[in-house]
Structures are given as C-alpha cells and as structure tokens.
Structure 1
Amino acid sequence: MAEEKFFQDRERLVQALAHDCACELQKGIKENNHASFLVSGGSTPEPVYRELSKRPLPWSQITAALVDERWVEKTESGSNAAFIEKSLLQNFGDEANFLGMKNSHASAAEGEEACERAYSELQKPFDVCLLGMGSDGHTASLFPHAQGLQDALNPESQKLCKAITANQSEVTGSNTERMTLTLSAILQARNIKLLITGEEKLKVYREALLGSDELEMPVRSILKQGLKPVTVYWAP
C-alpha cells in the first residue's frame, strides 16, 4: 500500500517533495559516490525541479535520466529532454549528468536497443524515481491498452526500455510514439514517488486503488506491487 503525503497547498508539496528527493539523492551519493534520479516530464513536476535546481547538492555526482519520452527531436514541441534542461538542469543543477531517450533512429521501435544499452550503464538501484499520472490512469508512457504495454508491464522482463505506441486521445495528443521505462525498470528504484495535483487526479488515483485491471489503468502496476515503497504526494 502506498504511503500518502497530502498537503493543503502546492507550495508546501513542492518544498516537501524537493526536500525528500534531495535527501534520497544525498543518501545515494554517500553510499555509492553517485546517485541516479529518474525524472518525468509534464507541468506538474516543473516547480519541484526548479526548487531542486536551487539546492547546492553535489550535482556532478547525480545523473538525471528520463522516465519516458515522445519520439521527437529536442527542438520540437513536447520534448521531455528539453523540458528537463530548462527546469532541473538550471542553477546548481546545471552540473548534473543527463541521459535522454531519443536517439538518431527514425522510430522508437528501431531506437529501443540503443536506448536499452544506454540505460544499462546507469548505476542501480536507482535512487529516486519521480512519476506522474494522467487522467486516463497512465504513468510514464505506460498508456491504457497501448501497443507494447503488456510487454512493458511484464514483471519478469529484464528490459529497461520499451517502445510504446499509445492510442491517440486528449491525454496523448498527436505524439503517440513513445519510449518508456518498463515496470521492472521502475521497480529497480529504491524510492518511487508519485506526484498528483487537483481533485480530478485524486479521483483517478482513488479509482486506481479500487480496481485491478492494469491494462485499463497502468498506474495500478505501481500502486499494487509490494516490492518497492511508493509515496503519493498530492495537493489541491
């Protein structure tokens, strides 16, 4: 069962989550001389990244790596790599190492092997994985009934990265071709943090807890597993 940290307002959430992430990263550095931070895109975590970037951590000993990515160039709209560069890799955070998912291959499927090789070089276990959740119950780029989802959710899989083709919706927008970490990769994180805001997302979260169909609401694969601790951060 996930631990819930609910706050009265988003500013308190941002400060608490930034603090918790910083503590876990510092712990990883103390134990292994390096820390790995799996980061998600989207507007919700942006203030958390901006707050973290202002903290004088030993950033050169931290590698931030994407949880998922649209198969678009960094110069195109929707690039998570560009978003992280503009939010987390600023101020003190500009000394951090960064690993993106988009590579030179024409499609996510063709680029999957190269992405897998790159991510296999990351220090494990990952120290922190920060996830979000969509109104459709997706997390990372694990979208409901997406092509490739079943393989990505296979807990026995040894793969870290999986090409996904989502069913186009208001949530996905036009960029349905994605690369995502698999469930087994996410579960290699020592700490999994799920960030949600607003009443609508709270209802979706509650619905996810009540059901069991992971293909319908892939976030259930994170919330229902018992291998790694999950902390849910929410504010109105």
Structure 2
Amino acid sequence: MSTDKLIVRHYFDEPCKLADGIARFAATSLLESLASKNFASLVLPGGKTPRLFLPQLGKLNLPWERIQLTLSDERWVSTTNPDSNERQLREIFLKGMSSAPRFIPLKTDHAHPKEALSIIDAHLAGMSLPFDLAILGIGEDGHIASLFPGMTLDSHEAHLCQVATPPAAPSLRISLSFRTLVEARQVAFVILGKSKRQLLDRLLSSMDETIPFVKLLQHRSVTVFESDT
C-alpha cells in the first residue's frame, strides 16, 4: 500500500513538544472551520494518551463556546467508573475551563449500548458534521476508537456510531462508526513510545484490510504526531 499521499508524520523528541504540537494543530484546524461557520466540532480519544495533551489543549485561547465536543468511543460503564472516558475528560480537560465547549457524551443510562444507538445518533447529528477534527490513538492490534480487527467497517454505514465488543476487555463499548471517521475533515493520530512507532511502521506496510487503521488509510489522509517517549 502506498501511503505517501495519505499520511503526514510529525516527530517530536520530547512528549511536551508533541503536546504543544497537537494542541496548536487542533487550534489551527478549529479556527479555520470557525472562519466559515458558527460552530466547529472536535472528537477526542479516551485511554491514557490524551492525558499528555489535553491540559495543553485546554489552555489555548479559543472561542470554546463555539466548539462542540464528543469522544471517539466510550466504555459502557458508569460515568463515575475510573475506566470511563467521559470521567477522565471532565477531570483533566473540562473542569476549570472558564468557557467550556458543548460536550455531547456517548454514554446513556440504557443497560446495553444497542438500546441507545438511535438516541446517541440523534445527539451526534445535532453537531456540526462532518466532524472538523478527530484526534485518535492506535491500539496494539491496530484498532482505532473502539473499532477492532474483524469488525465490519463500512464507509457507507448509516449510523454515526456503533456497538463494539473488545476481544479481551470486560465491558461493551460504543464507538464512532468507520464512516464517521472517514468523513471527518481532518484526522490526527497521537503515537507515544518506540513500540507504538514500530507498530505504526508495520501497519503502514500492511495490506490487511481487517485492521481498522490500515483500512482507514485506504479511504482518507491522516496526520500523525509521534514521539519515542
């Protein structure tokens, strides 16, 4: 697979420089969108990676009241659970902001995420679509958001989100759909550590369409921010 025109890679020798780089990239992307419309939309990842750059992003002087925010995916657990991406986002990003973005959560009170699909879809449909910027990570198996290898990935999927069952995790998840990520105006990945950078190199030479990251590159361009540490 030729990826020369599909991926732009930015390497940083220190994590703090990467955090500054992705924050500035996000600011530029969002301000470009706001120059031509009333609201811009931002997708942020869960997991450990955003702990590096979310504090830096939150310090930027942006018109946050004009920015709509959601998550790339969410574990189907209580929002008070330590594994909740929403809980993390509120604690390290939204809390303390003098002017906060409008946050659209993915978790509802339904017992099963399948029961909530239409409601979550409706909430997401009320945002500025397609998303202006989606910031994501890559799992060790090449999964993105909560789209795992072997799942059906349809660029014409009707829903904006879909239910995911991780291969080796205890909780169900809700994830933005493959189509939603394909259609986003910009997609950026944050890659931390030598092992993840080596994984990225392997994925870039792969032709395995069952790997979500590989399949995404067959449909769109992405920007990568990476560091060895």
Normalising by the residue count of structure 2, what TM-score does the alignment of the two structures yield? Answer: 0.92
Alignment check: 8 A CA contact 1:88 1:94 kept = no
CA-CA distance at 1:82 after TM superposition: 0.8
Residue 78 of structure 1 corresponds to which residue in structure 2? 83
- C-alpha RMSD of the superposition: 1.4
Counterpart AA for 2:81 = E
1:211 paired to 2:206: yes
CA distance in 2, matches of 1:197, 1:223: 20
Distance change (3 Å), C-alpha of 1:197 and 1:163: same
CA distance in 1, matches of 2:185, 2:13: 27
Report the secondary structure of 1:219's partner residue.
helix
Say which of 188, 201, 205 aligns to 1:193: 188
Q: Percent identity?
A: 30
Residue 95 of structure 1 corresponds to which residue in structure 2? 100
Alignment check: 8 A CA contact 2:188 2:225 kept = yes
Count of residues in Structure 1 that have an aligned counterpart in Structure 2:
223
Report the secondary structure of 1:139's partner residue.
coil
Residue 114 of structure 1 corresponds to which residue in structure 2? 119
Alignment check: 8 A CA contact 2:15 2:52 kept = no
Alignment check: 8 A CA contact 2:157 2:179 kept = yes
Normalising by the residue count of structure 1, what TM-score does the alignment of the two structures yield? Answer: 0.90
1:39 paired to 2:44: yes
Q: Which runs of 5+ in 1 are unaligned?
A: none
Report the secondary structure of 2:132's partner residue.
strand
Residue 222 of structure 1 corresponds to which residue in structure 2? 216
Report the secondary structure of 1:196's partner residue.
strand
Counterpart AA for 1:144 = P
1:138 paired to 2:143: yes
CA-CA distance at 1:223 after TM superposition: 2.4
1:184 paired to 2:175: no
CA-CA distance at 1:93 after TM superposition: 6.5
Counterpart AA for 2:225 = Y
Deviation sequence 1:58-84 (CA, Å, 0-9, x none) = 111111111100001101121111111
Relative to structure 2, which stretch is displaced further, 127-136 or 24-33? 24-33
CA distance in 1, matches of 2:127, 2:208: 31
CA-CA distance at 1:94 after TM superposition: 5.2
Residue 3 of structure 2 corresponds to which residue in structure 1? none
Q: Which runs of 5+ in 2 are unaligned?
A: 1-5
CA distance in 2, matches of 1:190, 1:93: 27
Report the secondary structure of 1:156's partner residue.
coil
CA distance in 2, matches of 1:88, 1:27: 22
CA distance in 1, matches of 2:96, 2:56: 10
CA-CA distance at 1:104 after TM superposition: 1.7
Residue 233 of structure 1 corresponds to which residue in structure 2? 225
Relative to structure 2, which stretch is displaced further, 192-201 or 118-127? 118-127
Report the secondary structure of 1:38's partner residue.
strand
CA distance in 2, matches of 1:188, 1:87: 28
Report the secondary structure of 2:148's partner residue.
coil
Counterpart AA for 1:199 = K
1:50 paired to 2:55: yes
